Amino acid sequence: MHENYSLADLAAQIYDSELVIGGTGAERDAELLIIESWLEAHVGEVNTLIHTSFTVNNGEVKGFHEEEAGILRELYVIQYYKKQSRSVLKQADDSSNSLDFSELREGDSVIKRSSKRDHLKDYKSLIMHSQQTLDKLIANYNTYQSPPSQVIEKDSYN
């Protein structure tokens, strides 16, 4: 087991498998730095949620394991989906003069276009799913990982 957990590795995992952004080369490297910086800035939020005191040193978190990394990953994913949904809302506001159709028919031909409302519903669903996953991870961590707050000796009677 590793003594330190690499935020760069977690950022790469998020980029490659969670979000499937699909960039390569310099674009990927730049995005990984952004993700890693976000993760580093939010280790304190993980500490607050699970009552721990992890610190970051040179992009590594001492004592961090998969459970804590999973919580941090879900925090990032929720933030990412919220950011994407705000982007869709902004595009909807900017496109007030454009034609917004959902379906065009001419003879036997049909053209369907997904609406911004559909995209927002999708992001809302993704956010809710990630939030439920995060809540479960936190509850499980706090139930099974936290030390007891009080120790009682049952066999103290002589």
Confidence of residue 1 (pLDDT cuts 50, 70, 90): very low
* Whether pLDDT at 149 is above 60: no
Angle subtended by helix axes 116-144 and 43-50, to nearest 10 = 60
- Alpha carbon distance 40, 36 (integer Å): 6
Query: Cα dihedral sign for 25, 79, 40, 16?
Result: negative
Burial of 81 (0-12, 13-18, 19+ CB in 10 A): buried
> Which amino acid, residue 45?
E
- Alpha carbon distance 15, 13 (integer Å): 6
Per-residue pLDDT tens digits for 24-79: 788 889 999 999 999 999 999 999 999 999 999 988 999 889 899 999 999 999 99
* Whether pLDDT at 154 is above 80: no
> Residue 85: what pLDDT?
86
- What are the sequence ranges of the domains in the chain? 4-144
> Residue 95: what pLDDT?
55
> Which amino acid, residue 85?
S
What's the predicted TM-score (pTM) here? 0.77
Per-residue pLDDT tens digits for 105-134: 777 777 766 667 777 888 899 999 999 999
Contact assessment for residue 36 and residue 8, using Cβ atoms and an 8 Å cutoff: yes
> Residue 81: what pLDDT?
92
Burial of 36 (0-12, 13-18, 19+ CB in 10 A): buried
